[in-house]
């Protein structure tokens, strides 16, 4: 509506764009709409994109299902609601197909965030893993790089002995690191 007021004052689209901090292209489009249909043509038509396929009542039920946790709905491996699980849950409970990205957006809308479960074997033996890390990994790992100054440069660092006596930094008492 601010743009319509400015257009009524005979302000040109580039100036409207500058004042409202929008692109000139948008201002020119608004100006065309305003000329053709007046202030009503600039009224908001609501959010763009497809509308939610779940009714408000179904959204409330989905939020309740998510609060119950994944184990209640046959995911007992971990307690993480992944977007794929939520899409499957929506299909099971409401018979509506949602994509994984659509389920993610729906979860955010309801105040939830999708989680990525840690991928671990169900029969993992933590004591055996710790023992392997301490005994075997130390042998396999190797010594690594020697301590000292390293450089990512492909060229060798110049020797301080080969510098001309009048070169910058030649009079430095101690080498810089």
DSSP per-residue codes, 135-162: HHHHHHH---SPSS-----SSPPPPSTT
pLDDT of residue 167: 66
Q: Where are the domains positioned within the chain?
A: 2-42, 56-110
| pLDDT tens digits along 39-67 | 999 888 877 778 889 999 999 999 999 99
pLDDT of residue 24: 95
Calpha distance 112→90 (Å, rounded): 15
| pLDDT tens digits along 86-135 | 999 999 999 999 999 999 999 999 999 888 766 666 677 888 888 888 88
Calpha distance 172→165 (Å, rounded): 11
C-alpha distances in Å from residue 25, one per residue of 2, 11, 29, 95: 16, 15, 6, 43
pLDDT of residue 130: 87
pLDDT of residue 35: 93
**Would the pTM of this model clear 0.75, i.e. be above it?**
no
Residue 73: pLDDT above 70?
yes
pLDDT of residue 162: 64
- CA–centroid distance for 161 within its chain: 51
């Amino acid at each position: 509506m601010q743009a319509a007021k400015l257009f009524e004052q005979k302000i040109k689209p580039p100036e409207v764009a500058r004042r409202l901090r929008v692109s000139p292209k948008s201002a020119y489009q608004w100006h065309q709409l305003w000329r053709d249909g007046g202030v009503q043509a600039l009224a908001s038509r609501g959010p763009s994109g497809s509308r939610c396929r779940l009714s408000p009542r179904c959204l409330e039920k989905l939020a309740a299902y998510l609060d119950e946790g994944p184990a209640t709905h046959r995911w007992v491996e971990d307690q993480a609601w992944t977007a794929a699980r939520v899409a499957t849950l929506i299909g099971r409970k409401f018979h509506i197909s949602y994509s994984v990205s659509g389920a993610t957006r729906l979860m955010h809308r309801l105040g939830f965030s999708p989680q990525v479960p840690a991928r671990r074997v169900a029969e993992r033996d933590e004591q055996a893993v710790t023992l392997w890390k301490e005994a075997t990994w130390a042998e396999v790992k190797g010594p690594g790089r020697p301590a000292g100054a390293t450089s990512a440069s492909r060229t060798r660092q110049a020797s301080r002995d080969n510098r001309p006596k009048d070169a910058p930094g030649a009079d430095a008492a101690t080498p810089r690191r």
